[in-house]
């Protein structure tokens, strides 16, 4: 049985053709054109599917799609995904089914990324875990007994908006003190740049003064790995915040495996050290020895591969 998995991002559509043995037989990328008109976006999507269908040596049984934002997964309806102005409320499953005739499933992109790690990556062999994607925001998907946990109305897994500081930093959701306001890339850099500028001994001091817009979490991670203490401390602090939220999630759900991916996760050891130490310190005794915090394995492919597994 062949399936197609598609990850629709704000700028790029990534898709793959996958067989029953979970081998990737073909790949395809297109621009999303998310801020033009919807028809342009859909044309890119159809053209991508067409290329993969042509590469399949048997009929494609289903198409799974991951999309940002709140998705009505039961009906396959996308709901005003952020940073995609051409997309309002789009009945994507119906649109793709009527064109391609096969089963179509649509879900939130972070849920797909977690499902991807479950089927192809760091989550293999684990029945339940929480997958985190540290990007511009903090995305997450809860996998319970090998399946996405959607909650009562489909909106479960908003780990990024767990409050960790009562009167903390302002989050994009309008609330204060969400973990996303500490561990999302935008907020991390906003916090890091003044620190780097105030520390002449730091190896990123000059860059933070002259070209702060070019700074990435990877730069901070590489400086930290090369022994820069200022950068190490910045990442460790972010990790500490994340660990506090992870301990709360473990206590609530009795889930002890956490798989962390995304841009900031590439910053590496100091971040993971901070996560691990603070999560262990805060979690209830019953969970401490079982706590397992792993780096994700699939990088940017997680959402696309997980989307293919949405199709039953
Ligand atoms: Zn928030």
What would the 3-class secondary structure string for 60-72 be?
Answer: EEEEEEEECCCEE
pLDDT (average), residues 69-79: 95
Residue 221: predicted pLDDT: 86
The C-alpha angle 70, 74, 75, rounded to 5 degrees, equals 85
Residue 70 C-alpha to ligand 1 middle, in angstroms?
Answer: 14
Contact yes or no for 88/80 (Cβ under 8 A): yes
Between the CA of 216 and the centroid of ligand 1 the distance, in Å, is 22
Give the phi and the psi of residue 250 in degrees, each rounded to 5: -65, -45
* Residues with Cβ–ion distance below 5 A, ligand 1: 161, 171, 173, 175, 178
What is the pLDDT averaged over residues 282-303? 96
Can you give the pTM of this predicted structure?
Answer: 0.93
Q: How much of the chain exceeds pLDDT 70, in percent?
A: 100
Q: Does 305 score more than 80 pLDDT?
A: yes
pLDDT band at 264 (very low <50, low <70, confident <90, very high): confident
**For position 25, what pLDDT does the model report?**
97
Distance 176 CA to ligand 1 centre (A): 7
The helix (run of H) or strand (run of E) holding residue 27 is strand 24-31
301, 114 contact by CB (below 8 A): no
Question: What is the per-residue pLDDT across 121-137, written as a single tens digit (0 to 9) for each?
Answer: 999 999 999 999 988 88
Asked if 129 contacts 257 with a C-beta cutoff of 8 angstroms, the reply is: yes
Measure the CA–CA gap between 292 and 286, rounded to whole angstroms: 13
- 229 token code pair: 């203490």
Asked if the model's pLDDT at residue 76 lies above 90, the reply is yes
Three-state secondary-structure class, residue 58: coil
What is the Cα–Cα distance from 129 to 137, expressed in whole angstroms? 20
- Cα dihedral 234, 236, 239, 243, rounded to 10, equals -140
Q: Cα(171) to centroid of ligand 1, in Å?
A: 5
- The mean pLDDT value for 141-164 works out to 95
Distance 46 CA to ligand 1 centre (A): 34
Helical (H) or strand (E) element with 288: helix 285-288
Which two tokens mark 104?
């179509």
Identify the pLDDT of residue 187.
84
Helix (H, G, I), strand (E, B) or coil at 257: strand
List, in sequence order, every residue forming a beta bridge with 163; answer none if it has no partner.
Answer: 178
The answer to whether residue 263 scores a pLDDT higher than 80 is: no
**Residues 197, 60: Cα–Cα separation, whole Å:** 54
Question: Which pLDDT value is given to residue 50?
Answer: 97
158: CA distance to ligand 1 center in Å?
A: 9
Contact between 114 and 146 (Cβ < 8 Å): no
Q: Whole-angstrom Cα distance, residue 132 to residue 158?
A: 10
What is the Å distance from ligand 1's center to 169 Cα? 10
Ligand 1 center to 177 CA (angstroms): 7
Compute the distance between CA of residue 213 and CA of residue 181 in angstroms, rounded to an integer. Answer: 19
Stretch 274-293: mean pLDDT: 97
User: According to the model, what pLDDT value does residue 135 have?
Assistant: 84
How far, in Å, is the centroid of ligand 1 from the Cα of 163?
8
The whole-number pLDDT of residue 79 equals 93
Distance of CA 160 from the midpoint of ligand 1 (Å): 6
The pLDDT, as a whole number, for residue 56 is 95
pLDDT tens digit sequence for 186-240: 888 888 999 999 999 999 999 999 999 999 888 898 898 888 999 999 999 999 9
Rounded Cα distance between 190 and 212, Å, is: 10
pLDDT bracket for residue 47 (50, 70, 90): very high
What pLDDT score does 83 carry?
A: 85
Closest CA to 139 of 203, 208, 68, 85: 68
Rounded average pLDDT over 38-63: 96
Tell me how far the alpha carbon of residue 48 lies from the centroid of ligand 1, in angstroms.
34
Q: How high does pLDDT run on average in the chain?
A: 94
Q: What is the mean pLDDT of residues 264-276?
A: 85
Q: How far, in Å, from the CA of 246 to the mean position of ligand 1?
A: 16
């Amino acid at each position: 049985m062949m399936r197609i998995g598609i990850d629709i991002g704000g700028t790029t559509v990534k898709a793959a053709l996958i067989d029953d043995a979970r081998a990737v037989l073909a790949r395809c990328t297109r621009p999303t054109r998310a801020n033009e008109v919807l028809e342009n976006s859909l044309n890119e999507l159809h053209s991508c599917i067409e290329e993969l269908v042509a590469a399949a040596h048997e009929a494609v049984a289903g198409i799974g799609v991951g999309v940002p934002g709140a998705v009505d997964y039961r009906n396959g309806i996308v709901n005003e995904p952020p940073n995609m102005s051409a997309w309002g409320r789009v009945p994507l499953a119906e649109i793709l089914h009527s064109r391609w005739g096969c089963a179509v499933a649509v879900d939130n992109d972070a849920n797909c990324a977690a499902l991807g790690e479950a089927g192809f990556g760091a989550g293999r062999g684990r029945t339940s875990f929480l997958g985190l994607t540290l990007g511009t925001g903090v995305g997450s998907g809860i996998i319970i007994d090998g399946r996405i946990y959607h909650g009562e109305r489909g909106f479960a897994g908003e780990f990024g908006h767990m409050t960790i500081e009562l009167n903390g930093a302002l989050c994009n959701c309008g609330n204060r003190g969400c973990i996303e306001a500490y561990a999302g890339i935008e907020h991390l850099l906003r916090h890091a740049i003044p620190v780097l500028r105030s520390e002449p001994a730091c190896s990123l001091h000059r860059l933070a003064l002259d070209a702060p817009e070019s700074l990435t979490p990877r730069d901070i991670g590489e400086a930290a790995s090369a022994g820069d203490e200022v950068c190490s401390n910045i990442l460790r602090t972010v990790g500490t915040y994340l660990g506090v939220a992870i301990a709360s999630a473990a206590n609530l759900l009795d889930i002890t495996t956490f798989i962390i991916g995304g841009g900031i996760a590439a910053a590496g050891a100091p971040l993971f050290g901070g996560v691990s130490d603070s999560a262990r310190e805060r979690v209830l005794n019953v969970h401490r020895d079982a706590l397992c915090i792993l780096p994700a394995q699939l990088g940017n492919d997680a959402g696309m591969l997980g989307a293919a597994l949405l199709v039953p």
